[in-house]
Amino acid sequence: MSNVFKLIETDEFEEVVYGYDKKSGLKSIVAIHNTTLGPSFGGTRMMLYENEEAALQDCLKLSRAMTYKNAAAGINFGGGKAVIIADSKKDKNEALLRAYGRFVDGLAGRFIAGVDIGTDENDMVIVHQETNHVTALPKYYGGAGSTSGATAYGVYQGIKKASEIVFGSDNLANKTVSIQGAGNIGSRLAEYLSKEGVQIYITDIDEESLKKVKQKINVEIVNPEDIYDLDVDIFAPCALGGVLNDQTIPKLKCKLVAGSANNQLEDVKKHSQMLKDEGIVYGVDYILSAGGVINNSQQYNSYGYNKEAAYKKVASIGDNIKKVIKIAKNNDVTTYDAAKIFANERLRMSNNLNKWYLKKERGIKV
């Protein structure tokens, strides 16, 4: 395995922790990237990896993205992520999830666990038996429930606001959108867009998911390999990452890329520049997909979770992506670079705040 300290030094991670439990078979990694704004806040991804280094690399990449996502979203949480190396369909059980809960609890609140690929709100109920440092709990537990609805709503609001700049109006009627991924987020995004009169093309490797979408709304199903070649206004990647690369970008005919998938750019510098050169506006993934974390962060308000308040905050994603696109235009940079400028501004603000309580604890007069 690569030198772990070298990996975490490159992007200034605060902490990387490995958790193992022999009895349950738990093998987990938690990466805490930055806690400037508050405790690290991120999902729990359960999946098999090619090897342990691949799991670590994925965890680090996702954790770093969460720092910028949470900062740009305007919530008081830092960036973190967890991976459990296991097959979510075969290996998931109470013992494994409770062992993971004890692992998270041992981090003493520096990491708050949510859901990601391979985990859901029911899993978090089991994790919650061992720790209070968990979110995405069902509504009957006082939580916000599944993140997919809020994430889809945030992407939808982002598409509308970005369209004001790209197409001159947020009216999506008669626009064409291709959605890659018909899971919980992609299908709900399709529902929002359908109500606007959008012509929707959708694909997924899971035929059952496609059938469910087709039963609810009017969509045209296409083969996974054909999704990039479609002559559409907007491409919405809502599946796995790395889909914007040397092979796919030249095929795109859209004017706007705006979806929920994490780490859509295979190489962030190279491929964000490729999109810019092609005249395609990239709706930065961690800006648009922040609906889930915004929604779940409301669980920690003093008044508890309130859906109306949460979704009002989620809607601000639209304003955030407009600001990012304007920063990119004003500075002649990619939207990826503009998003970092936008997020870093809030991190700098927090760093510059006068931490009075720390001074008092140290006996320093204020």
Q: What are phi and psi of 55, to 5 degrees?
A: -65, -45
Ramachandran quadrant class, 71 (left: phi over 0; alpha: psi -120 to 50; beta: rest): alpha
Pair (194, 303) in one structural domain:
yes
Enter the tokens of residue 300.
């920690």
How much is the pLDDT for 358? 47
The reported pTM is: 0.85
Pair (152, 288) in one structural domain:
yes
Mean pLDDT along residues 295-312: 85
Mean pLDDT of the chain: 92
Pair (295, 319) in one structural domain:
yes
Give the CA count within 13 Å in the CB-facing half-sphere of 69.
33
Pair (112, 27) in one structural domain:
yes
Pair (270, 188) in one structural domain:
yes
* Non-local CB neighbours of 290 within 8 Å, separated by 6+ positions: 69, 70, 72, 73, 154, 314, 317, 320
In a domain, 270, yes or no: yes
pLDDT at 131 exceeding the cut of 70? yes
How much is the pLDDT for 2? 58
Total Cβ atoms within 10 A of residue 257 = 25
Pair (219, 335) in one structural domain:
yes
Distance CA 185, CA 16 (A): 29
In a domain, 95, yes or no: yes
Pair (308, 324) in one structural domain:
yes
Assign 166 a pLDDT band (cuts: 50, 70, 90).
very high
pLDDT at 357 exceeding the cut of 70? no
For residue 113, the cross-strand partners are 42, 134
Assign 146 a pLDDT band (cuts: 50, 70, 90).
confident
pLDDT tens for residues 317-344?
A: 999 999 999 999 999 999 999 999 999 9
Number of domains in the chain: 2
Is 81 one of the annotated active-site residues of the chain? yes
Q: Give the SS3 label for residue 42.
A: strand
In a domain, 71, yes or no: no
In a domain, 303, yes or no: yes
In a domain, 20, yes or no: yes
Pair (112, 153) in one structural domain:
no
pLDDT at 354 exceeding the cut of 70? no
pLDDT tens for residues 238-258?
A: 998 899 999 999 999 999 999
pLDDT tens for residues 40-69?
A: 999 999 999 999 999 999 999 999 989 999
Pair (52, 157) in one structural domain:
no
* Non-local CB neighbours of 264 within 8 Å, separated by 6+ positions: 237, 241, 242, 243, 244, 257, 285
In a domain, 72, yes or no: no
| Domain boundaries, position 184 | 148-347
pLDDT-above-90 percentage for the chain: 83
Enter the tokens of residue 178.
């291709």
Distance CA 285, CA 12 (A): 21
In a domain, 331, yes or no: yes
* Alpha-carbon distance values, 263 to 61, 66, 78, 242, 245 (Å): 8, 11, 18, 6, 11
In a domain, 357, yes or no: no
Angle at 265 between CA 262 and CA 270, to 5 degrees: 155
pLDDT at 361 exceeding the cut of 50? no
Provide the terminal-to-terminal Cα distance of the chain, rounded to the nearest Å: 48
In this structure, are residues 289 and 151 in contact, taking their beta carbons and an 8 Å threshold? yes
Q: Give the residue from 89, 121, 141 where a domain finishes.
A: 141
Angle at 290 between CA 64 and CA 61, to 5 degrees: 20
pLDDT tens for residues 84-118?
A: 999 999 999 999 999 999 999 999 999 999 988 89
How much is the pLDDT for 359? 45
CATH number at residue 240: 3.40.50.720
Distance CA 82, CA 41 (A): 10
pLDDT at 3 exceeding the cut of 90? no
Assign 37 a pLDDT band (cuts: 50, 70, 90).
very high
Pair (119, 200) in one structural domain:
no
Pair (159, 16) in one structural domain:
no
Pair (30, 128) in one structural domain:
yes
How much is the pLDDT for 366? 30
Residue tagged active-site, from 81, 92, 276, 340: 81
Exposed e or buried b for every residue in 216-231, given b needs 16+ CB within 10 A? Answer: eeebeebeeeebbebe
